[in-house]
Structure 1
Amino acid sequence: MADDAWLKQPWMWPWLMAAQMGRAGLDAASAVLRPHEGAAPGDEPTWTTPAECLLDLPAMRLHRFSEGTGPPVLIVTPLALHGPLVADLAPGHSLVERLVAEGVGEVALLSWPSATPERRGTGIDDHLAHLLVAVEELGGRVRLAGICQGGVLAMMFAARYPEKVERLVCAGAPVDMEAGPSALTAAARACPQQALEAMIEAGGGIVRGEAMLRFWQMGGLDALSGGLPADILQSRSPPPDLLARFSEWNAWVVDLPGGYLRQVAGELFQANKLARGEFVALGRRIALGDLRAPLLLLAGAADTVAPPAQVFAAARLVGTPRGEVVKIRTGGGHLSLFMGSRTLSGPWRRIARWLKGQRA
């Protein structure tokens, strides 16, 4: 698809309106993203796999699903529209379940609670610092498995603290936004700064999840996620209970800190600072060449959020020896990388062996 084809997607209209109509356009975009009066989220969906909460902080939760010897496997979930059950949706559709079943040892997961007004200014530094706290809680050295933007955060961490990461998996994690076109890159670069600020202001400094969900649904569920539920779950005829579980997960959304969204959109997607070696985190410029741990990159062939070119570009940016970089391309879209039954029973089994030090 040509680069400008993304601009024809329905979910792009607020940005285009803002760019062409000035203040009136910004007001229209803000109206779409402003939460409904009296709107309140339902109960957060519970874990599929039994979990123990090791840390429960205002901006971070650390969960443990299994115990074992050696450096733990820490799954880093994305701070995005939906909650952490993207990694533990349902039996047969759970990354956590797969890693536990494959006997990789201790499996833990880092999740990010919904933002509060007090946290509206928090950014990537804050989340890296919380990741550091989680790693220390788990013994100071881990095998990281970052998914989506959690993979980008994990890669930053592994470059910033290389001695704390034994192995690194980045699944569906866009690293170099100039390596190929994507829906999110096009959206971020078409979005005027005024529109982004209006979106943040509409939520009082945070980006309301229920408003963002309405925004994305203008283009239909498959605009970014990779298809209908059956396609995402890689199930020809999903049973009613699985569809209900997916709908529950899809409806429960989190609020994002405005400072974090501003930094992700501006510094990563627009300016591409991480790939260019210009991104500063916790007081230091992040040089991906400092990342030397064995690295495995997983990309979906039909992923429009993190296309293979943007994911696999990390291989030439890191300092990991070429023979210790593994690239796996699989079928399906973005969410299928974490929820798809075929992806979990195929590529993730290979990844589990790799996490244990075996050949993938």
Structure 2
Amino acid sequence: MAIETPFKNLIPELNYEKETNRWKNVVKALTGPAPKMGHSPRNEVWRKNKSVLWHYPAKQKKYEIPLFFVYSLFNKPYILDVAPKTSVIEGLTNLGYEVYLLDWGTPGYEDKKIGLDTYIDKYLRTAVKRAIRHSGADEITVVGYCLGGTIASIYASIADEPIKNLIVATVPIDFKPAIGPDKWTEGFRNGDINIDSFIDVYGNIPPKMVEGMFRAMQAPVYFTNYTMLLSRAHDQRYVDKWQRMNKWTVDQVPFAGEAYRQLANELFKQNKLVKGELVIGNKKADLKNIKANLYVISGSRDHLILEDQSKPIMDLVSSEDKTYVVVETGHVGLALSGLFGKIVDQWASSRSNPL
């Protein structure tokens, strides 16, 4: 007599080949060699201490005004040139832009006294001057990503250099809204967490602490990337993308102690940039001094920088030409997918003096 199993049609058949490939790819992604980053041809233009100014020549120059990228002090900038076909820099050079990138480098213990004043007024200002001279252009477009956007905005507010366009993406400007554990925010702002004492002892913020901060800020979202790897590990293209993103995520750099002290106290705690009270190199970094054409980009799925942190810049600058857009992407996805370059081109192409 035949026995019917009531759950027979509810249990899918196991695809052994697919599952074998899935687990092979998981092991390879977690234990295999890291993928190569940075593919676009480049030349060193200038160097100071650990920082390097790179030039990425246009495949066929179509615009007079070059793009100058400023990246965050927390991470390495190769996320902008992460892979062929999805590289932000490759996409822009293919479209005819001369591209410059200031790589801040990796601070050592000897750099613990470097503050935002030095980074902005000495390194960034000099690098922009070199880029303008190297390109032969009369003006330049400054592009800032994440904290690099904050730094670019501060610089633009005190710059004497001819900045025609300022583009900032996923940028924290107003530090009153915050993402992360409420107790952290409360502790920073009421003095229970004393960052000054930590810096006095350690000199710089160690990479593992930087990584830990980002994990805590994104939890539990941070851990879903491993779940996604497991569920899509049979897709080799996804695994390659996952490896690149994971490498960049855990490849943190030390944060120079004095610069972090200023960031924590003057921006995060006292919110001086929005109040017009921040002073850099004996100059007040008042955002109303910015008259360059302004383009602000936020991500609707950004779990690190809220729209409420970025949007206030629109009312603080004096720019007549200013645009704010929200893109359906996350904080890292904007760069990792190469979408950032396409969005920059859509706005900058008519403002970069086409040849």
Which bin holds the TM-score, normalised by the shorter protein?
0.7 to 0.9
Aligned-pair identity (%): 21
Cα displacement string for residues 189-223 of structure 1 (whole angstroms, at most 9, x for unaligned residues): 53246442344345x20111134324544676765
Task: Supply the AA of the counterpart residue of 2:86.
Answer: H
Match of 2:328 among 313, 328, 331: 331
Q: Does 1:78 align with 2:72?
A: yes
Aligned to 1:35: none
1:111 partnered with 2:103: yes
Q: Tell me which residue corresponds to 2:42.
A: 51
State which drifts further: 302-311 or 109-118. Answer: 302-311
Deviations, residues 157-183 of structure 1 (Å, cap 9, x unaligned): 1111154211010001111223x4433
Kindly indicate whether the alpha-carbon contact (under 8 Å) linking 2:204 and 2:256 is maintained by their aligned counterparts in 1: yes
Q: Which amino acid aligns with 1:356?
A: S
Specify the alignment match of 1:182 in structure 2: 179
- Does residue 240 of structure 1 match 2:213? no
**Residues 176, 215 of structure 1: alpha-carbon distance in 2 compared, 3 angstrom cutoff:** closer
**Which of residues 33, 42, 51 is equivalent to 1:60?**
51
5+ residue gaps in structure 2? 1-32, 134-138
Q: 1:148 aligns with which of 135, 139, 146?
A: 146
Task: Write the letter of the residue equivalent to 2:166.
Answer: L
| Partner in structure 2 of residue 38 of structure 1 | none
* Structure 1 length-normalised TM: 0.75
What SS is found at the alignment partner of 1:54?
strand
Matches within 5 A, 1:123-272: 123-128=115-120, 129-139=122-132, 141-161=139-159, 163-178=161-176, 180-183=177-180, 187-191=184-188, 192=191, 194-201=193-200, 204-214=202-212, 216-217=214-215, 223=221, 228=225, 237=235, 238-272=237-271
Specify the structure having the higher radius of gyration (Cα).
2
Say whether 1:89 aligns with 2:82.
yes
1:137: how far off?
Answer: 0.7
Deviation for aligned residue 1:346: 5.2
Partner of residue 12, structure 2:
none
- Contact 1:48 / 1:88 at 8 angstroms: preserved in 2? yes
> Secondary structure of 1:246's match?
helix
Structure 1 position 184, deviation (Å) = 8.7
Cα deviation digits, residues 118-156 of structure 1 (max 9, x gap): 110111111112011111111264210100111111111
Among residues 98, 102, 106, which one is paired with 2:95 in the alignment?
102
SS in 2 for 1:190: helix
3-state SS of paired residue (2:38) = coil
Of stretches 309-318 and 207-216 in structure 1, the one that deviates more from structure 2 is 207-216
State the Cα distance separating 1:250 from its structure 2 match. 2.5
RMSD between superposed Cα atoms in Å: 3.2
AA partner of residue 76 (structure 2)? G
Specify the SS of the correspondent of 2:45: strand
Aligned equivalent of 1:120, options 112, 119, 122: 112
**Which ranges in structure 1 are unaligned for 5 or more consecutive residues?**
1-41
Is the 1:94–1:344 contact (alpha carbons within 8 Å) kept by the matching residues of 2?
Answer: no
Aligned residues: 307
